[in-house]
Structure 1
Amino acid sequence: MVIGNIYLIAAISIIGGGLFGFDISSMSAIIGTKQYLCYFNQGPNGPPDCSGPRSDVQGGITASMAGGSWLGALCSGFLSDIFGRKHAIIVGACIWLIGSTIICASQNIGMLIVGRVINGFCVGICSAQVPVYISELAPPSKRGRLVGAQQWAITWGIMIMFYISYGCSHIKSTASFRIPWGLQMIPAMLLIVGMLFLPESPRWLARNDRWEEAESVLALVHSKGDRSSAFVQREMQDIREMCEFERENRDVSYLELFRPRMINRTHIGVFTQIWSQLTGMNVMMYYITYVFAMAGLTGNQNLVSSSIQYVINVVMTIPALLYVDRWGRRPTLLIGAALMMTWLFADAGLLATYGHYAGPNGVGGIKEASWSVHGPPAKAVIACSYLFVASFAPTWGPVSWIYPPELYPLRVRGKAVALATSANWAFNFALGYFVPPAFVNIQWKTYLIFGVFCFAMFIHVFFMFPETAGKTLEETDAIFTNPHGVKYIGTPAWKTHISTSRVRKLEKGELDAKEIAAYHDEQADLGTVGRASMSHAAPGLSETPKVG
């Protein structure tokens, strides 16, 4: 039995994103517990005053997962192109089981790091290919909410694992962290079983000359098996024309993404993922217990207060899933950057004005909590942290996964999204390693750094990131070239807009014959523009190709 409901397909495949969420909170809820600090202690004092790993080593432990994810994301492009989107995700889930087993059995810091690198390899594969898989199956008018559901799965994974870890923190043995690390294998098992019942990407099937299967999948997902549906036929025509054009140059390398006709899209996709990290959100998730310790919260009070932001993260992602296809990508990213900048600068100002140095041992013996603030200013710091999460959740969180797969043509999409996602993990690694020493050495100024990043991303998005909402994946190609396809001009990003009304009508079969004919003529013109752009991106392809 093959599942054809697009919402159920998305619900199963985004479990791959949930694995990343499980990893985040399995560290953030555990790194402040005495059991963890004493078992992996590198400080001069033994129990009960253990200080745990050195700050640079803790940064390395946390960042090791992102290091593995960087490599996994790059490799996922090859896996996806050879074996298909579906099977690449299954391979990733199997790797997660291996890594989680090693982490659960860790006897020392080295073993823990190795397990996290292996887990990261899985997260890299799944985080790169789940958005590609969903975007190649989803109808244009629903693509944003369906791909963005990956971010929602991440937030659920964070929240669920945090409360599991919080409950286990009361166990007075190493089981307090081994149980959560072992339980994170369960979602990977569910993902493996669920993916067996899902269809392969129709665009990948078509590119591998499996046309009957491709049409069957499109009909199953979009028209309850009716191959004669106008939308199915339109999609098949777009895919067929693109594949016929690409046939002369089937082999795609990462170098093609840096050719003149593709470099702009590559830079936009890569920076979408880089900026999502430089917001500082994952830093908040990994090290929130340090931040709240600076505000005077300790023990259970710290953990419970930290958990509130995970609930906020889950709830505030819902508006994006419901409305991101109406809001568009550009406004969502711009508003998110402006709001996050505001809360980060507010936190920096509060800590600088009302806080003080807490000494070399930090607050409560946590040396990373090297700055202390009390009273109403401490409550304001906590409130700004919550508002920061509430600003990220409906904006950069989901859109950073939605946007990159929409930028590229079929032939390079797998590797292009893999490259963009690898940039996410490279910066995740760098920030995970950088932040603990930063809290020790520059204290509140850490917030200033991320605030400046948010200002820079606002400017970058306004001038360089075009709107892709409501367009077919093939249609988006025309944004990046002029009507003659001879020289890069493209449409200025600030002049692009959402176009969903006719696409929605076509999906529902509500266009009459004249409207369908007009729509097809427009799409044919756009397809010619897009193919012309590709002829310059890939040397050896003809200027005026014959398409079937």
Structure 2
Amino acid sequence: MAPNTVTNADGANAYTELMDPNRRWYNNKRLVILNAWIALLLVTSTASGYDGSMMNGLQSLPQWEGYFNFPTKGKLGLLGAIQNIGSLAGYPFTPYLCDGIGRKPTVFIGALFMVIATGVQTAAQSVGMFIGARFLVGFGLTFAASASPMLIAELSYPKYRAPLTSTYNSLWHLGSIIAAWATFGSFKIQSTWAWRIPSVLQAAPSVVQVFLVWFVPESPRYLVRKGKEAQALEILAYYHADGDENDPLVRYEFEEIKAAMEFDRAVAANVGWKAFLSSKGNLKRLRIIIAIAFFSQWSGNGLAGYYLNKVLSAIGITNPTTQLLINGILSIWSLVCALAASSMVEHFGRRTLFLASASLMTVCFTLQTVCFARFTISGDNNAAHGFIAFLALFSAAYNLAFSPLIVTYALEILPYNIRAKGFNIFNITISATLVFNQYVNPIALAALNWKYYVVYCVWLVCECIFLYFYLVETKNHTLEETAAIFDGEDAREKIVGSAATHVGLGKGAEENGGDEKGSTEFVEIA
């Protein structure tokens, strides 16, 4: 089977020639305002990253370990996994809130839950209370983390949609950095405030969202779906064309959104949970989003990501200060790599970055395994130093695609009518994988030591094979255009052709060789 490909003949999406080349994010007041609201949504990922790194840091704090009677194995696994168990409890409700009351109110509900949960977590008097609070953290974070990236993708100015959506997941590392250095800074406090201060700081992003999210514009796609077309057009015009509702870009966006929803509703019957099994296109989408969600947590990154102190202790680095310092430095390194990759997603394309990332991870993780084994067998300190170096290189490889692209890619291949439900499946897969990882990893690592790393070496090879044969390129396509990649020529004619006709592009296309469908060429995927 040949690898799936899709090409764009002129290397640009349908909006390119309709956008004002002089309108940039830094010189247009309304774009600056729009991106400020998007930045408010981006902090949701920061809150998620803070939580993961905070638990990593707390495990290196004697004050935390002593207060909760030095949790190990199963109890430690539960403390790590309970947040994602809370997320799993929230997922059945998220698509109905996102599609029912809107993206914006769903973000508010999630942020409010987070504020309450972190308050309980900070005040915890027992391990049971701490575990219950972390369950609520996961439950609340689910709502905000489901709605925020969808709202970012559906609001962004077309030129900046892919980089901004990719930045969303990349900012997980910003939260990780803040948490890592917060725990490092509180390490010297000789009381329970050594871990309570990092805990209370976790609420900061959510507090800001609770007060400001109501000023964020709602998704135009949500408004069109609810029959509020005038309001949707007003938002598109205000932020994308300085208020001009007759601007060609705005008209094209508006008509393409309407045509895509009509196609999904009337032509493809692309609604509800059954839709994922009703067509070849949706089965392909389902296969890909489940795979990349699974890969994002089962590529060996969960070992150092959530149990770095156990990994470092296994290679002879047991000093808590050194462990916290390494955690903080790795977080900064990961953020730099992820943001750099986010800026390149439209240049190199999704497929290239994913394949490069998986291949490099395989190499780096294999070398980590070799160093780990050598240290365990011979006690070679140089092997321990090599392990740290390859851990940093593995992090760079992971952040080449799996930090910036998994959310971007999942959202852009899903049409609006099943986007919330499909993204819910994506998030459920991540949380279920994390629950397994976080519960099993400390037990398996304690039992198998370096041999457990071999499992991930083999699995990474399987990931490379899957990505090569099944990943589809979506570079330089609008959210609506990707429907044509998965659903075939009928979708292309109904969605892209309809929008082009409404803004007068159809005639121009006919004059350029009689092709009413324009210059974008699609290669059907297997």
Write the distance in 2 (CA, Å) between the matches of 1:58 and 1:220.
50
Aligned residue number for residue 433 of structure 2:
427
Aligned residue number for residue 364 of structure 1:
none
Q: Residues 362 and 457 of structure 2 are in contact (CA less than 8 Å); yes or no, is this contact kept in structure 1?
A: yes
**CA shift in 2, pair 1:326/1:34, >3 Å:** same
- State the shift of 1:75 in Å: 2.2
Q: Residues 265 and 271 of structure 2 are in contact (CA less than 8 Å); yes or no, is this contact kept in structure 1?
A: no
- State the shift of 1:148 in Å: 1.0
**Structure 1, unpaired ranges of 5+:** 42-51, 357-371, 486-502, 530-548
Q: Residues 412 and 479 of structure 2 are in contact (CA less than 8 Å); yes or no, is this contact kept in structure 1?
A: yes
Aligned residue number for residue 7 of structure 1:
35
2:499 is equivalent to residue 471 of structure 1: no
Q: How does 1:93-492 map to 2 (within 5 A)?
A: 93-246=111-264, 252-261=271-280, 262-297=282-317, 298-356=319-377, 373-483=379-489
Write the distance in 1 (CA, Å) between the matches of 2:30 and 2:340.
30
Write the distance in 2 (CA, Å) between the matches of 1:87 and 1:443.
46
**CA shift in 2, pair 1:314/1:472, >3 Å:** same
Structure 2 SS opposite 1:29? helix
**CA shift in 2, pair 1:373/1:333, >3 Å:** farther
Structure 1 SS opposite 2:250? helix
Q: Of the candidates 17, 20, 26, which is equivalent to residue 54 of structure 2?
A: 26
Q: Residues 136 and 201 of structure 1 are in contact (CA less than 8 Å); yes or no, is this contact kept in structure 2?
A: yes
**CA shift in 2, pair 1:141/1:2, >3 Å:** closer
2:100 is equivalent to residue 82 of structure 1: yes
Q: Residues 354 and 400 of structure 2 are in contact (CA less than 8 Å); yes or no, is this contact kept in structure 1?
A: no
- State the shift of 1:231 in Å: 1.2
Write the distance in 2 (CA, Å) between the matches of 1:27 and 1:520.
57
Write the distance in 2 (CA, Å) between the matches of 1:84 and 1:517.
42
Write the distance in 2 (CA, Å) between the matches of 1:78 and 1:512.
37
Q: How does 1:501-540 map to 2 (within 5 A)?
A: 514=508, 521-522=516-517
- State the shift of 1:222 in Å: 1.5
- Any idea what the Cα deviations from partners look like across 1:131-186, whole Å, max 9, x if unmatched? 21111122444222111111232110000111111111211111111111111111
TM-score by length of 1: 0.82
- State the shift of 1:54 in Å: 2.5
Deviates more, 1:248-257 or 1:27-36: 248-257
**CA shift in 2, pair 1:150/1:399, >3 Å:** same
Q: Residues 70 and 121 of structure 1 are in contact (CA less than 8 Å); yes or no, is this contact kept in structure 2?
A: yes
Structure 1 SS opposite 2:344? helix
Aligned residues: 482
The one-letter code of the counterpart of 1:283 is L
Write the distance in 1 (CA, Å) between the matches of 2:181 and 2:169.
19
- State the shift of 1:512 in Å: 12
**CA shift in 2, pair 1:312/1:405, >3 Å:** same
- Any idea what the Cα deviations from partners look like across 1:309-332, whole Å, max 9, x if unmatched? 111011111211211111111111
Question: Whose RCO is larger (CA < 8 A, sep 6+)?
Answer: 2
- State the shift of 1:229 in Å: 1.4
**CA shift in 2, pair 1:439/1:525, >3 Å:** closer
**CA shift in 2, pair 1:190/1:340, >3 Å:** same
- State the shift of 1:278 in Å: 0.8
- State the shift of 1:523 in Å: 6.5
Deviates more, 1:240-249 or 1:11-20: 240-249
**CA shift in 2, pair 1:40/1:329, >3 Å:** same
- Any idea what the Cα deviations from partners look like across 1:430-482, whole Å, max 9, x if unmatched? 10111110110111122222222221111111111101121111111111244
Question: Aligned-residue CA RMSD in angstroms?
Answer: 2.9
- State the shift of 1:520 in Å: 10
Deviates more, 1:2-11 or 1:422-431: 2-11
Q: Residues 77 and 418 of structure 1 are in contact (CA less than 8 Å); yes or no, is this contact kept in structure 2?
A: yes
The one-letter code of the counterpart of 1:179 is I
Q: How does 1:35-54 map to 2 (within 5 A)?
A: 35-41=63-69, 52-54=70-72
